[in-house]
């Protein structure tokens, strides 16, 4: 069964305290893995697409990496404005898109 | 460039009623997909349309249906509402097919009493 699991469910960091969010997946044929950010009351906002193991993408304080079984979203020296829920999604070979339930990140000043 | 627009933003219905939600994609985007978001299940795929044709459908009962018009605007309909249908319904548009970069609207929050 295709499945996407994100951990932890919630994470509290002090401003400047770097950490990583995990997205592990079990799917039949990975076509792409996507990271989104969702603020309260808003729709998700696209961050990154990763297609193959070993691939990395960076944007400001965020860096996404991909292996054959999981992806990490590394947050370096986070700021309070990075507080949001981060969603991982996987597209399978059958063109189905599965989302994880997200990691709720809170960055404390 | 205007983003994805969803209407209405909030609505309250009672069990057994039906509801229609509307989505206007970003200008030039021809692919529209719909998702249901609940606290327990997260984001779940409902269906995807491209050029007025349904390309893919998620694992939802037949009470959930959708369509896309020639101007790429899309509607989804839920008939015979149940309490469990209470959720945030999100629409996303994509510039092409399978680009991976979805642009989401702010959603329609449906409460079923």
pLDDT tens profile B30-86 = 999 999 999 888 899 999 999 999 998 999 999 999 999 999 999 999 999 999 999
Confidence of residue A2 (pLDDT cuts 50, 70, 90): confident
Phi, psi of B84 (to 5 degrees): -70, -5
pLDDT tens profile A23-80 = 999 988 889 999 999 999 899 999 999 999 999 999 999 999 999 999 999 999 999 9
Peptide bond just before B71 cis, omega within 30 deg:
no
**B41 interaction partners in chain A (CB closer than 8 Å):** 101
Across the interface, whether the CB atoms of B41 and A97 are under 8 A apart is answered no
DSSP β-bridge partners for residue A88:
A35
Please say whether the beta carbons of B94 and A91 come within 8 A: no
Mean pLDDT within B82-99: 89
Question: What is residue B85's DSSP assignment?
Answer: G
Confidence of residue A1 (pLDDT cuts 50, 70, 90): confident
Q: Residue A57: which of A46, A69, A68, A42 has the closest Cα?
A: A46
Please say whether the beta carbons of A61 and A76 come within 8 A: yes
Tokens 């509607």 label which residue?
A: B75
**B-proximal residues of A, 57-86, CB under 8 Å:** none
For the cut 80, the answer to whether the pLDDT of residue A95 exceeds it is no
**A34 interaction partners in chain B (CB closer than 8 Å):** 100, 102
Chain B contact for A92 (CB, 8 A cutoff): no
Best B32, B47, B99, B102 residue to mutate vs chain A (most A CBs within 10 Å): B102
For the cut 80, the answer to whether the pLDDT of residue B97 exceeds it is no
Please say whether the beta carbons of B66 and B46 come within 8 A: yes
Contact pairs from chain A to chain B, CB under 8 Å: 48
Would you call B99 helix, strand, or coil by DSSP? coil
Residue of A nearest to B39 (CA): A101
Q: Kindly write down the DSSP assignment for every residue of chain A, as one continuous string.
A: --EEEEE-SEEEEETT--EEEEEEEE-SSEEEEEEEEE-TTS--EEEEEE-STT-EEEETTEEEEE-SSEEEEEE-S--GGG-EEEEEEEEETTS-EEE---EEEEEE-
What is the predicted pLDDT for the residue at A73? Answer: 98
Token duo for residue A25: 């997946």
Q: Residue A86: which of A54, A52, A61, A53 has the closest Cα?
A: A61
In angstroms, what is the C-alpha Rg of chain B?
13
Q: What percent of chain A has pLDDT over 70?
A: 100
Best A43, A89, A95 residue to mutate vs chain B (most B CBs within 10 Å): A43
What is the predicted pLDDT for the residue at B84? Answer: 95
For the cut 80, the answer to whether the pLDDT of residue B98 exceeds it is no
Chain B contact for A89 (CB, 8 A cutoff): yes
Angle value at C-alpha B9, between B1 and B30, nearest 5 degrees: 40
What is the predicted pLDDT for the residue at A83? Answer: 98
Please say whether the beta carbons of B42 and B35 come within 8 A: no
**A91 interaction partners in chain B (CB closer than 8 Å):** 98, 100
User: What per-residue string of b and e applies to A84-107 under the rule 16 or more CB within 10 Å gives b?
Assistant: bbbbbbbbbeeebbbbbbbbbbeb
């Amino acid at each position: 069964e295709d499945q996407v699991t994100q951990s932890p469910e919630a994470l509290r960091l002090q401003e400047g305290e770097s950490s990583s969010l995990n997205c592990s997946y079990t799917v039949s044929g990975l076509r792409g893995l996507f990271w989104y950010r969702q603020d309260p009351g808003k729709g998700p906002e696209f961050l990154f697409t990763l297609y193959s193991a070993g691939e990395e993408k960076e944007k400001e304080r965020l860096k996404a990496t991909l292996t054959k079984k999981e992806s990490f979203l590394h947050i370096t020296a986070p700021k309070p404005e990075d507080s949001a829920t981060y969603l991982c999604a996987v597209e399978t070979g059958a063109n189905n898109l599965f989302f994880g339930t997200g990691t709720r990140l809170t960055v404390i000043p | 460039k205007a983003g994805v627009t969803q209407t209405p933003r909030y609505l309250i219905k009672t069990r057994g009623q039906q509801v229609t939600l509307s989505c206007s994609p970003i200008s030039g985007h021809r692919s529209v997909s719909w998702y249901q978001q609940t606290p327990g299940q997260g984001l779940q795929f409902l269906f995807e349309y491209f050029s007025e044709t349904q390309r893919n459908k998620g694992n939802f009962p037949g009470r959930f249906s959708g369509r896309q018009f020639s101007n790429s605007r899309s509607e989804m309909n839920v008939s015979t509402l149940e309490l469990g249908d209470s959720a945030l319904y999100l629409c996303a548009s994509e510039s092409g097919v399978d680009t991976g970069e979805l642009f989401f609207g702010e959603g329609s929050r449906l409460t079923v009493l």
